[in-house]
Amino acid sequence: MFDKIFPYLLAGVSVGGQYALIAVGYTMVYGILRLINFAHGDIFTAAGFFMVYISATMPLYLAIPLVTVLTVALGFTVERVAYKPLRTAPRMSIMISAIGVSYLLQNLMWYITGGLAKQYPVLPWISDSITLGSASTKVVTIVTPILTIVLVTALVMLIQRTKIGMAMRAVSKDFETAELMGIKINSVISTTFIIGSFLAAVGSMLYFTNYTTVTPTIGAMPGLKAFVAAVFGGIGSIPGAVVGAFIIGIAENLIRAMGYTTFSDAFTFALLILILLVKPTGLFGEKTSEKV
């Protein structure tokens, strides 16, 4: 019994780590802008395509940093072009803008690739196969959770210990007051998007090493799931997002193991609706109430 489930469990931990890296981007942006960045999943996909095209022309040791830089630049640009002008607009407008960006990125990627699935390059070492007990898997499966924990720990340290981290915390608590205290809102927001995109780039390298093909809409589902993970853990909370992501990753693979593959996506959303009903602020969320 355990031998049968073990490979799924392993896959769950791995995909959970990849979701976690995306989820952190969602939860940070939400924490600061109160915006569901619908385009985040597409930035993740774009990172995949960057790698496909760049690795075709240059060696991987150049391609990997370049892909990261490009992804970060894309995230930064999206924020500057599509979200910054709407800073004072109602929240619904900025959410619509996010949906518009997602639509644009997907169409753009479809146009550039001609809508065909592209083969993701084989990254050395992490694509190697190893055998763990009853399961044969790629090294990436083991690397992902470790790398995720390391990166997230670094991020939490950054937020707790550095000046920019303090500014981020201030902005997420109270946007306007933080601005009045002389915090440069725009650079804080940009930093948030840069970190989010960086993690999405790392996440995409790990994810596509597992799933090997990139299509223009492939990021939508992991993106949504990562968001659900962020909500599940309590939106705005980074450890929450990570825990949520691992739970969702593992749970959906266990559902696959039971033979209900059709429902693995639906399950995530059922879980979301359930958590919103039982504890709307998520596992680690703080309670907020509107002032009358």
Partner 1 sequence: MKKNTKTIVNLVLLALLFLAVWVIERTSSASSMLITVLKKGAIYALIAVSMNLLNGFTGLFSLGQAGFMLVGAYTYAVLTIPVAKRVAVYQMYAGGAIHFQLPWLVGILLAGAVAALFAALIGYPVLRLKSDYLAIATLGFAEIIRAIIQYEKLGPITNGSLLLKTYPTFKSTLFPFAAAAICIGIIVLLINSTYGRAFKAIRDDEIAAEAMGINLFRHKQMAFIISSFFAGVGGALLAMYQGTLQANAFKAAMTYEILLIVVIGGMGSVTGSVLASFLFIACSEWWLRFLDAEQFIGSFQVPLLRSGFRMVVFSVVIMIVVLFFRRGIMGDKEFDVEGISKWCRRKFGKGGAKA
83 vs 120, beta carbon nearer partner 1: 83
87 binds partner 1 (CB under 8 A): no
53 vs 263, beta carbon nearer partner 1: 263
Which residue of 36, 183, 189, 247 would you call a contact of partner 1, by CB under 8 A?
36
185 binds partner 1 (CB under 8 A): no
Residue 254 CB neighbour total at 10 angstroms: 17
Minimum Å distance from CB 235 to partner 1? 9
Which residue of 102, 144, 148, 210 would you call a contact of partner 1, by CB under 8 A?
102
Residue 57 vs residues 45, 52, 109, 159: alpha-carbon distances, Å: 19, 9, 19, 37
**Candidates 55-63, 64-72, 95-103, 131-139; binding stretch for partner 1 (CB under 8 A):** 95-103
* 211: exposed, middle or buried (Cβ count in 10 Å: 0-12, 13-18, 19+): middle
159 binds partner 1 (CB under 8 A): no
85 binds partner 1 (CB under 8 A): yes
**Cα dihedral angle (133, 135, 136, 140), rounded to 10 degrees?**
-100
Specify the DSSP class assigned to residue 162: S
89 binds partner 1 (CB under 8 A): yes
* 116: exposed, middle or buried (Cβ count in 10 Å: 0-12, 13-18, 19+): exposed
Residue 110 vs residues 46, 68, 81, 289: alpha-carbon distances, Å: 11, 21, 21, 42
Cα separation, 174 vs 176, whole angstroms: 6
Give the distance from CA 33 to its chain's centroid.
Answer: 16
Which residue of 11, 231, 241, 245 would you call a contact of partner 1, by CB under 8 A?
231
Which residue of 18, 27, 106, 237 would you call a contact of partner 1, by CB under 8 A?
106
Residues that bind partner 1 (CB under 8 A): 34-36, 81-82, 85-86, 89, 91-93, 95-97, 99-104, 106-108, 110-112, 114-115, 217, 220, 224, 227-228, 231, 262-263, 265-266, 268-270, 272-273, 276-277, 280, 290, 292
